Structure 1
Amino acid sequence: MNLMIVEDEVGIRTRIAETIPWEAHGIEVVGLAENGVEALRLMECAQPDIVILDIQMPEMDGLTLARRIADSDPGIKMIILSGYEDFEYARSAMESGVLKYLIKPAGNEEIRAAVLEAASLVQRELQERLSREALQRRWESHLPRLRELFLGQWLAGAYSRWEIERRMTELLIEMKPGRLLAVAVLEPDPLVAGEERFRDGDSALLRFSLRSIAGEVVQDRETSIIQDLHGATVILLQSTEEEPQGDFQLRAGFTVTKVLSTMKDCLKITASAGISRTTADWEKLPVLYDQARKALQLRVVYGHHIAIPYGEEREGQDPLMPAPSDERDLEIGIGTGDTQKAEAALDRLLQDTVHQAATVEEVQDGLLLVMHTLLRIVRTLNWPLREAAGEDIVYFHDVGQLQTREQIRSCLQRIVGRLTAYAVRRTQPGSHKLIQKLLSLIEEEIGQQEISLHSIAGRFYVNKSYLSRLFKHEVGEPFSQYVLRRKMIRAKQVLAEGGQVQQAAQQVGYANIGFFSKVFHKYWGVLPSEVKGAPWTS
């Protein structure tokens, strides 16, 4: 049993700690503190069961300390040592959870008896918590969660046969011999455009809701419902005695469909499911789970709000290839900011790839092909992908987030819209009057050695951070990048018109010709001397 002593008088603190034979009573002094602040700092590592504390101490008094201890751990027993006989002090102490209130100068025997009484109370409470009946109740309350964890690991193929048998016995799971088994995997469908009540970040909430709805709808005691490691709802169905296979399959389909319909009725959100084949061999449960997950993937072919039984996929057709003219039209539409032309080309590309696909693999191949085309166009135009695609850049990194044809079409249309809008912003500088003035100023002062956003913000009497964000929003690129681009274009124009390298450097504010040549080469990929006298192109 651990004891802490909190007393600001060194003599009393030392006497209690060293002159009472605590070890003979199974008590260990684990901490000495001279005030409440120090005591709180020691408590986390010392973990006392009993605390002796004075009332009047510097920095934090004993009654405040007692309340803090009671709030953090009500099981700690506290004994007050006080020089005050006032009833109000005693009453406040008892209200703070103090077990004993001793008046100074309390002798060793009185203190020892109070501590042993507290230790006896701690021991009785511990025994009550750890009694067989209490442990049995706690075990039974945790049993559903333990079963769910076990089934999730079993579905993932983490156990051998002997481990499965042992864990089923421990967790009171009964798989009746000869009964048919089937597995269904359910997931919410991707949110459709225009959905306002839920966002993409609510996927965990929607998965939990689907799991809860399944638990309410399916009341069969021989049916288990869990969430797998991916967050999907898994329903493990077991046939009744002598139930024909066909009837069992039909019941499994009706059960899953009812859950999907309830989800739609309650939340106005659709979900889909994959349903495995059936088997009487419980060792093949991971195989059934894999079949159900594969069946669910077919919603990319068949659409939303559907229960799909597992079956052999038909062989794929010849590879789907888009027409080169459609790719060219898409590039021209995006590069010129022609939204109508770009969207029409995208529709034709999707028709030739994703919409003609007959298998999950063909849909995924078609999607990758279109995404690769968009990425190539952005790189050809020398655009920063993150700026051009905005929030939709995540789909370039993980196309697996697009799980249905509807979601693929909506996402790609949005990306093309962002790209064409970006093209327009780059060719048409902002209409904001302040930005127009700033663009004119840059052209006028481009020959200066440094054009600083800080100094310009001061001249316009605006906040630098605000001006930086406004400039990027209106022009489509950061201030420093725009200034560099204008300088490099002006320098290239001077050189193309026959100007000397030194003249070009001076006209764009570079005093050091060597540094100018280095910057020019990094930007254009050629040295200034290679451009001198060449035909001018922007």
Structure 2
Amino acid sequence: MYKALIVDDEEIERNGMVNLIPWEEQGIEIVGDAWNGFEGYQMVKEMEPDIVITDIKMPGMDGIELIAKVQKDYPDTFFIVLSGYGEYEYTSRAMELGVKYYILKPCDETKILKVVNQVKLEIQEKKKCKRYEDKKYNEEIKKLLPRAREQFFNKVLSGVIVSNREFQIYQGNNEADNKVCILNCRIDGEIDDLGKFVLQNITEEFITLEKVVMSTYIDNEVVFMLKDVNITFIRSVIQKLRIEYKNYCKKQISAALSDTDEFINMKELYDQTRERLFFDSYGSTHGLATAESLRKAGEENLRLLDFDKFKQVDDYVTLLYETNILFAKLTLEHYNTDEIKNVVVTLLNNLLKEEIQELQIQVQDKRSKRELYKYLIDKIVRNKPLILGYTHNGSRDNNRIQEILFEIYSNLDQRNLSLQWLAKDILFLNEEYFGRLFQRTMNKKFSTFVFEIRIEMAKRLIQFKPELLISELAELVGYTADGQYFSKVFKKYTNVTPSEYKEMVMK
């Protein structure tokens, strides 16, 4: 059934054509009638007819204007023009617009149906040609499919607008095929196309080609669209892939897996993987960044980070103490430098409300725990108003005591930490001056200060991890690993042994 629209300003003729001709017998459905070009164009937009039968001379928008506007917006529409004697100028302009079918007024049913049937034949022929072209096009696509598929995937992920027709060709007819996810494998550092090709092939071998819908390279990323996979399987693939690729190309790989969604949403899924790689810049998910792994990494950071205590810090001494506790926890959990960067960025983002990306740039060149420790202290000192936490003796002595306190806290795990060692080997100060300045400022001897901090730290670490071995705890706070002397001084300060304190915590 073909759809037709009649446009004529003469109501009697318009109604006659609509009602008196047996359109259905000819396979035609009249979807509407209009009295001028404006109304006719609105109906074309709504009904999208195959054929428009239109008068030429009409008020407002005439037939010529209607033809030109519809051909621009709906080029597959066929026109039959109704024209009277003396309207040669109009019919000439219609011909220039490519109209081939005319009926001279007055017109009867026979004339109209003869021309309509000619139009129907042309529409059928055009559709037949289109089917042939589509078939030929699809056959060519299949020949070039591997490369064309890669180019299509690359264009979409790069933000290039592609036609709905291309999406239809590649997404398949099965609804299950339309549910996909994106795996993004990012190679650290510069890599050539051979390196990307190797990664692509190893990954497809591990995953199996049946599950890989398409793949492409974007900068230092090798991106895969996958179907019928689960996170556990992909995580095992990435673990093997990281080992295999490092052996072959001496490069590290970071990977992220998107959620599962419709085929047409592949760009959003790809952006999701890039966002997950960004938030996992320091490898907190240990290989594969997913929604769940990032959530767990965040929870682990919350377990290590005592945000409330950091928010309550209002003096320099307490800041040093809390930072030292944090870094001791990170040592206990065997965090590497990159993982510590992630924790530091998370803390500063929550504490100072700075952008994560900017913080990541700032910590990028930090190569050791000590550098990160100092960066964290300095960053908070610059951005948060703090009191000193000790007796103020003038700007010169104040700067000196801050330096002394920083070195004490950052070296608490060193067994050789002493007034003599700090003065001579670290700060290059006269020992007597050092001792007098410290006692005058802190109102206690150096040895007493260090002893109290170490035991308080030990108590906090037991609260954090009660199953911690006494020998490991002793080393963390600057005592020998046998734990005997540590247990003795711990009991002297707390009236209970470390083991007894652990039992109290675990109750």
Q: Give the TM-score normalised by structure 2.
A: 0.42
